[in-house]
Amino acid sequence: MKKQFLTTTLALSLGFSSLGMVQATIQPIEVEAATTNAQNNAQAVATKADQLIQSGKSLIGQATYSNTEYKPTYPYKFSCATFLMYIFEKNGVDLGTYNENYMIQQGTYVAKNQLQKGDLLFFKSKKTGTDPDHVGMYIGDNKMIHMADSQQNIVISDLNSKPYYTDNYVSARRVLPTLLSANPATKGDKIVENALTYKNKVTMSTTNNESSLRFTAPGFVDFVYRKSGVTLGKTTLKEQMNIGTTVSRANLKKGDLVFFNSVKGSQTPSLVAIYAGDHRIIIPNSDGVMTRVLFVDYYNEHYITAKRVFSDNSTPTTNAPTAAADKIIATASSMTGKAKFGYAYNENSLTFTSAGFTYYVFKKHGIDLKDKLASKQALVGKNVQKAQLQKGDLLFFSTNNGGQQITQTGIYIGDNQFISMTTNNIVKQNLNSTWAQQNYVSARRVL
């Protein structure tokens, strides 16, 4: 259950930090570095989920419930949220928060009938407020593992076993694979990996000394980027904020530098952070190197700007992806008037659901989307922000004007247009249409 942590002498203390706000300073967890995955797809997600589940099960009988103390060594003490924060971080996946209300804003929405291992499940039993007050992790077979309460501690529960789980269920979020590295790993992935690798190894100081791993905040940033093959050559906040290309908050990607002030409205930076993807930031300051989420009010109120300081070497430098996209679009368009909507996949009669249609079109060009379900296809390839769509990108929509549960697919064809199979058969639509704006969920790049 979520509750503001009280002062403890073992693992957690509250106080006014150099950020000018009350926040928790958590004792570092000794973890392995975030690893670059061989592939960022359904198999990578399944492998990571199994690791998370194994870690969670290993703590059964070893940890006790506490919403006032966090102790990441035996005898372990966790709340429901810090339990998950711990096992995710132990396996190289940083949630950046110990609060359910911030966890529920990460990743993507998942319908209850489409849960996968590793998904976060949220519950709310309190009559007041809007935030969830309990979180667990789905482990398959309609079960979750969670730090339940002071009587049960860590348990595995069937989601239909008690009225609490059925009556108070709120939502589910899939934070894998968005928190994993892409395939191939981008330079941004490598920057984040290095930042997390050195997170608990460096000492923050007023001067920079690489041999002893002592750094100022901008000195740490410069060190991490050099380790990742990016030369900033600047070791002050003001200098770092004046390099690179300005990017909007809506278009942040891994490895971008984000700057904050200490006085609202000021353009003078007092804090630099490394954007780690999915709203997470890695912040070096006088309290050490911390991870947080941008949802926190402080970061909303003190945000100045963001800078992109490198060109990712994984960005295509040839026209091959464009040529492949044009061929895919041509195939999809050629099926207008020939293919029809149906709930059964039939290549002979060209009968498809929306996801069956995209599966068939990409298959014709040697690209396996792994599944004929829209929600499964949304795990293939690399996440793409709406503002950065390219021809051939897969688009995912809901169909209930909710913009959350993925039930419909489309293929981006350029000029803000996409083609998809609907109940009216194959149609071309505009992303600015009312329907598309209300139902757009995400996009993936598979070329």
Q: Which CATH number fits domain 187-308: 3.40.50.300, 3.90.1720.10, 3.40.190.10, 3.50.50.60?
A: 3.90.1720.10
Report the distance separating Cα 224 and Cα 209, nearest Å: 13
- Overall residue count recorded for the chain in this entry: 447
User: Is 273 within 8 Å of 96 (Cβ atoms)?
Assistant: no
Phi-psi map region of 9: left, alpha, beta (phi>0 left; psi -120 to 50 alpha) = alpha
- Write down the pLDDT at residue 205: 95
- How many CB atoms lie under 10 A from the CB of residue 89? 23
Q: Which pair of structure tokens corresponds to residue 293?
A: 């989420």
pLDDT score for 401: 75
Q: Is the pLDDT of residue 6 over 70?
A: no
pLDDT per residue as tens digits for the range 352-390: 999 999 999 999 888 889 899 999 999 988 888 888 889
Q: In this structure, what token pair is assigned to residue 301?
A: 């109120």
Is the alpha carbon torsion for 281, 285, 289, 295 positive or negative?
A: negative
Determine whether 272 is exposed, middle or buried from the number of CB atoms within 10 Å of its CB (0-12, 13-18, 19+). buried
The sign one gets for the Cα dihedral 413, 418, 423, 426 is: negative
State the pLDDT confidence band at 403, using cuts at 50, 70 and 90: low
Neighbours of 432 (CB within 10 A): 9
- Give the model confidence (pLDDT) of 233-279 as tens digits: 899 999 999 999 999 888 899 999 999 999 999 999 999 999 998 88
Please report the pLDDT score of residue 315 as a whole number: 38
Reported as type and span, the H/E element at residue 217 is helix 217-227
pLDDT tens by residue, 321-348: 677 888 899 999 999 999 999 999 999 9
CATH H-level superfamily of 320-445: endopeptidase domain like (from Nostoc punctiforme) (3.90.1720.10)
Amino acid identity of 398?
S
* Strand 12-16 to 22-26 pairing: antiparallel
Contact 410, 417 (CB under 8 A): no
The model carries a pTM of: 0.60
Locate the domains of the chain by residue range: 12-174, 187-308, 320-445
Q: What is the dihedral of CA 233, 239, 245, 251, to 10 degrees?
A: 110
Which tokens in the block code for residue 402? 């909710």
pLDDT in tens, 191-242: 999 999 999 999 999 999 999 999 999 999 999 999 999 999 899 999 999 9
The reply to whether 12-174 and 187-308 are identical in fold is: yes
Topology of the domain covering 12-174: endopeptidase fold (from Nostoc punctiforme) (3.90.1720)
Question: Which has the closest alpha carbon to 107: 251, 279, 253, 255?
Answer: 279
Query: Exposed, middle or buried by CB within 10 Å (0-12, 13-18, 19+), for 23?
Result: middle
H or E stretch including 332? Answer: helix 320-334
The confidence score (pLDDT) of residue 29 equals 39
149: helix, strand or coil: coil
pLDDT, tens digit, 9 for 90 and up, residues 12-47 = 322 223 333 333 333 333 333 333 333 345 777 888
